[in-house]
Amino acid sequence: MVVATSRLTPMGVRGTGVAGGRARSVAGPKASKQSKAVARNAREAAFFGSEVACASRASPRLGSRAGRRPMLKPVAVIERPTVDPESLKASTRSVLAIILGGGAGTRLYPLTKQRAKPAVPIGGAYRLIDVPMSNCINSGISKIYILTQFNSTSLNRHLTRAYNFGNGIRFGGDGFVEILAATQTPTPGGKDWFQGTADAVRRYAWLLESVKIRQVEDIVILSGDHLYRMDYMKFVQRHRETNADITVAAIPCDEKRASDFGLMKIDKTGRINDFAEKPKGAALEEMKVDTTILGLTPGEASEKPYIASMGIYVFKKEVLIDLLNEKMPTANDFGSEIIPEAAEDMRVQAYLFNDYWEDIGTMKSFFEANLALAQHPPRFEFYDALNPIFTSPRFLPPAKVYNCQVSDAIISHGACLEDCEVDNAIIGLRSRVGKGVKIQDAMLMGADYYESEDLRSKLLAEGKVPIGIGDGSLIQNTIVDKNARVGKNCVLVNKAGVEEANLEEDGLYIRSGIVTVLHDATIPDGFTI
């Protein structure tokens, strides 16, 4: 085991193993003969070769190369590679990731009123887009496109701040992170918005044939609104081992949620022989299968009799280009059009992912997934030294907690809590919680900036409401969006059990029974709902 330290900054991934951009050999007399090769390799391995270089700290010789000065990968602890380093490098360099971040996110409204769905905060300090981005980084994938469309300002800003790998120096030698925004073109249909996931990729299919990604063999299509941790290279490796044209990540699913996903049937080799997108009624019943084929126990198989698509795919590059431009030029969606038709006459394989995965597509699933992060142990863990979740560096001070009773909660940097109770809650960045406040089963997204104590005192003296939660308030079953102002002695609990209500004039919205205080809203003192 090799311990390595590094950090993710707006300039990119930086470690302590390379000084002045040069790699120096420590292999002895032969080092001078190899210096040029080692230096060249160090430049090329700035990202995806770092695992190999770190391992060389423990061994003076790895493969056919003399011991190198270690170069670090953005993880705290990494294990020595078990595959040939040159083949590892080749496999990661030949993979491109495309993250779909352009959906309108209507089911997450009002959280998507002023931001794209992948930009919605999660876990107190992160955004949804950080999950697939971090999975790519931790998997060694260094070529990444992000497709954006609706309300993309905050998403673009976050991506630029958090993943600007290089400031002119390309990420990982020939790697990159680039935003591809919806744009108008003179081509037929070029004046329209993206019409779906497949159409979004088709609009930029010309990039897939560019010299820039000439080494790419496989393309991973990812969603920007899922919560999970996956090694995409294992996914790609399985795709290559089966010689599949397309591989679909799949997960066992129970009947309650099955109709929300694309469902498939597979044979003993994992090949998909039937695919239905979000079937209902009799069509849903027809998609039941014996999921013991996935390795589930009979008991688990009876609870989860469906195989659901995760909306994550690997395509051979030439297959994707051919499908989008030649075979299915009018198909707009991968799940409902491309995959079902391709499964009829192409080799489409399933890849089982039997770990935590959550589609953050609705207000209820978003709220429950966030609160589950505060459980012990949580089903999804942000605190993973081997595979960290990265985000924009903010340089905030630690949280302050004065005389509070806190249980099962995540309290983010820069928060300030005083004489309050917090139970089963997420407290976001720069949150302010006043005296006598009780927060239960709730999520505070925090604030983008601080108000000075002088300004807060002035606002209170004028009868106005500062950012945060005012003294004596009760917040339960509620999401408080960023920069919201909740006055003193407010009660936000949805006493009447209303399922849906548009109260935007009051700065509120109720969806799936969950109260949401809108971004920048002001709730006056004594307000009750």
pLDDT digits (tens, 9 = 90+) for 31-87: 444 444 444 444 444 433 333 333 333 333 333 434 443 433 333 333 333 445 554
Q: Check pLDDT > 60 for residue 1.
A: no
How far apart, in whole angstroms, are the C-alpha atoms of residue 464 and residue 328?
A: 58
Residue type (1 letter), 265:
K
Q: Check pLDDT > 90 for residue 29.
A: no
Q: Check pLDDT > 80 for residue 89.
A: no
Q: List, in sequence order, the alpha helices (H) in 13-152.
A: 31-44, 50-55, 85-93, 130-139
- Min mean pLDDT across 68-72, 248-252, 371-375, 438-442 is at 68-72
Q: Check pLDDT > 50 for residue 15.
A: no
**Tokens standing for residue 257:** 């949620």
pLDDT digits (tens, 9 = 90+) for 312-367: 999 999 999 999 999 999 999 998 899 999 999 999 999 999 899 999 889 999 99
Q: Check pLDDT > 50 for residue 94.
A: yes
Q: Check pLDDT > 80 for residue 103.
A: no
Q: Check pLDDT > 70 for residue 369.
A: yes
Q: Give the chain's domains with CATH numbers.
A: 2-83 (no CATH), 94-370 (3.90.550.10), 394-523 (2.160.10.10)
Q: What is the pLDDT of residue 90?
A: 53
Q: What is the pLDDT of residue 3?
A: 38
Question: How sure is the predictor about 181, in pLDDT bands with cuts at 50, 70 and 90?
Answer: confident
* Full 3-state SS string of 455-498: HHHHHHHCCCCCCEECCCCEEEEEEECCCCEECCCCEECCCCCC
pLDDT digits (tens, 9 = 90+) for 480-497: 999 999 999 999 999 999
Prediction pTM value: 0.80
Question: How sure is the predictor about 295, in pLDDT bands with cuts at 50, 70 and 90?
Answer: confident
Judge contact between 259 and 320, C-beta under 8 A: no
